[in-house]
Structure 1
């Protein structure tokens, strides 16, 4: 026959643990970042007695954190998105700095090239104007290549 005192004691201990968990939740209700806990109870293996089973009491199987899995999953996705956007933002800032600085940007070389084209269109027979156009074109190509290389290096550095 089952030990009635043992069964009762297991119930009392399980209830005591549940009350402790509840009091822990109450104490931490205003603690930022705290997640409520719950006590998981389970039956002990019943004992066979005369063709039937007699319960042996209850055990505390777990104390688990209560959370909304949807919210946790959404938070993980949002953090991953934030990190991805942050990396792209850093990349965009570097490229903006590269293209926004007159010493490294394409704009001055393009302006010089178009000024040389204007000079050649005004005086197509002028050999010096043509040579300036050719050298301005080469300088523009070199500037494009240098900017490409810097953007490529930035891309490699950030591993995007």
Structure 2
């Protein structure tokens, strides 16, 4: 029975060591832009059925989870998608604007000549 107590204590110490390492990692990256805090999730290590009942075997680290707001993450992604779309639109529309607004070789001189001709015709 004594080795069982020691193995339970050993599993608790291993889980606490993982939690301490994760906390240290969180502290060292606290000022890193875009870093998400992490937490250790522990679970029971299961039990052994001795016939008269189950005897636990301690704890284990089930996973290390990132803590973040999924809604805000989706909002950031949507905003970045919209910004990229608008940047692409700006580059394409700028080319059209430069083509149409050119005073020497664009569409503007042709339209001015057309309306000048129509005004002469009306006179």
Greater helix percent: which structure? 1
RMSD: 1.8
Q: Which residue of 2 aligns with 1:63?
A: 64
Q: State the distance in 2 between where 1:17 and 1:56 align.
A: 18
Structure-2 residue corresponding to 1:23: 24
Specify the SS of the correspondent of 2:43. strand
Q: Deviations over 1:107-159 (max 9, x none)?
A: 2112212222233333xxxxxxxxxxxxxxxxxxxxxxxxxxxxxxxxxxxxx
**Which residue number in structure 1 is paired with residue 95 of structure 2?**
94
Q: Which runs of 5+ in 1 are unaligned?
A: 123-160
TM norm structure 2: 0.86
Gaps of 5+ in 2: none
CA distance in 2 between partners of 1:77 and 1:120 (Å): 55
Residue-pair matches, total: 122
User: Normalising to structure 1: TM-score of the pair?
Assistant: 0.68
Structure exhibiting the larger radius of gyration computed from Cα positions: 1
